[in-house]
Amino acid sequence: MLDSLEHLTPAQIVAELDKYIIGQQDAKRNVAIALRNRWRRMNADASIQKEIVPNNILMIGATGVGKTEIARRLAKIADAPFTKVEASKFTEVGYVGRDVESMVRDLVEQSVNMVKTKKKEEVKQRAAEIVEDIILDALIPPIQGRSTTPVSMAAHPDAIPDSDYELNERTREKFREKIRNGELEDRKIEIRIQQSAMPGMGVMGPGMDEASMMNIQEMISGMMPKKTKKRKVTIAEARKILLEEEASKLIDMDEVKEEAIFKAENSGVIFIDEIDKVASSSKKGSGPDVSREGVQRDLLPIVEGSTVNTKYGVINTDHILFIAAGAFHVAKPSDLIPELQGRFPIRVELQSLTKDDFYQILKFPKNALTKQYEALLASENVSLSFNDEALDEIASMAYEVNAEVENIGARRLQTIMSRLLNDILFDVPDKIGANAQILVNREMVREKLAGMVKNRDLSEFIL
């Protein structure tokens, strides 16, 4: 699981992040070191392995500069379970709202899904063979009660003669070939599929936490008999439905849970966004500030390392990597309670995006907005392209709007690109037919976005 990190040095991790995120080299270096340290810890001497704790990271920067994207891509590189939460959604224990332990349960759920997907892939071939037999049985049911000798025929008058059995088998084999060749994909068959015994079941009770409620739901659901229902679907649909069902039967869920807990504990990443929203600007006070400090104190044991009950088992949070982020426009990192500050020893300040950053964001990342729109129109056989002058003009406008209205970082590009290309997206394919070639140049950008230059208020373009 962590073996894949062996071949990823910090420099290579940064190079991977560079494919999707422009700039912010300091942040990338720090998360790359944190990720490599995961592998280093797992390969350290066993006597000290448990003592090595991750250096949690606090990212400080305006919205849209790449904080979430860095954390998300980092988890993807490591093939690690990742969950993002907003600190402002949590409330102090005793108030109505989500409790902080729910983020750990979300992480375990994500980890279970990842391991389950991997295990299903391993048994996919075997499940496909079982599904093929089920589909074949629905098309040409096998003959039961085969007779092999005249003696058995005399003893069992209802037995099927060899010739009928062999004819049935030959027919089945012919249809098996047709199924494998995809000749019968649109033929409808009747299959039985499992359905949930108690969909939407809820359990309520005084003082019951989320974990206890989930455990009771699962226990009651497990006691209920499994029901099946008949459905008439095409063979193509049947294969998709049955493949999922049969693959689930073939995997050992106890093994999945055990591996998922280990994966979440040792490679899980929890991204806590908007942590500045629970920072108290005054050290003493009442009302909202007290509740904010309460949320911080609830977060503290999770980040420090504690055990959390989940429906898949108990998880220890000692070695989960926590990355917190916030704009800190009003509050300062020093407004967080000292104990929580101490649990985020790595501080990284992300820079606001420049005009050149916008230009590079439009041109170079694998998931650049320009490439996304090109792919969308390519599905209609329409070729869309942008020249460098157009990208420069779009970048210039995005930078100006952010400077004059509100800085929302790279998200501003989505507003501008949508405004720029909406007419084209609407006219394809009715007015702009297949094989059309559209080049976006500086003149077209200025014409389409003329309103943005004239309207100094720019309120229309605030997301």
Length reported for the chain? 463
Closest residue by Cα to residue 299 from 337, 325, 333, 331: 337
CA 135 to chain centre: 33
**9 known member of a binding site:** no
Cβ proximity of 229 and 196 under 8 Å:
no
Cβ proximity of 224 and 198 under 8 Å:
yes
**310 known member of a binding site:** no
Beta bridge mates, 316:
307
| Secondary structure element (H or E) that encloses residue 447, with its range | helix 442-448
**67 known member of a binding site:** yes
Query: What is the torsion angle, in degrees rounded to the nearest 10, for the CA atoms of residue 296, residue 299, residue 300 and residue 304?
Result: -160
**371 known member of a binding site:** no
Residues 77 and 240: their CA atoms lie apart, in Å, by 29
Residue with tokens 């700039």: 23
Cβ proximity of 119 and 130 under 8 Å:
no
Query: What is the torsion angle, in degrees rounded to the nearest 10, for the CA atoms of residue 13, residue 14, residue 19 and residue 20?
Result: 100
**22 known member of a binding site:** yes
Cβ proximity of 103 and 302 under 8 Å:
yes
**69 known member of a binding site:** yes
**64 known member of a binding site:** yes
Residues 116 and 119: their CA atoms lie apart, in Å, by 5
**166 known member of a binding site:** no
Closest residue by Cα to residue 145 from 154, 136, 133, 153: 153
Binding residues for ATP: 22, 64-69, 273, 339, 411
Binding residues: 22, 64-69, 273, 339, 411
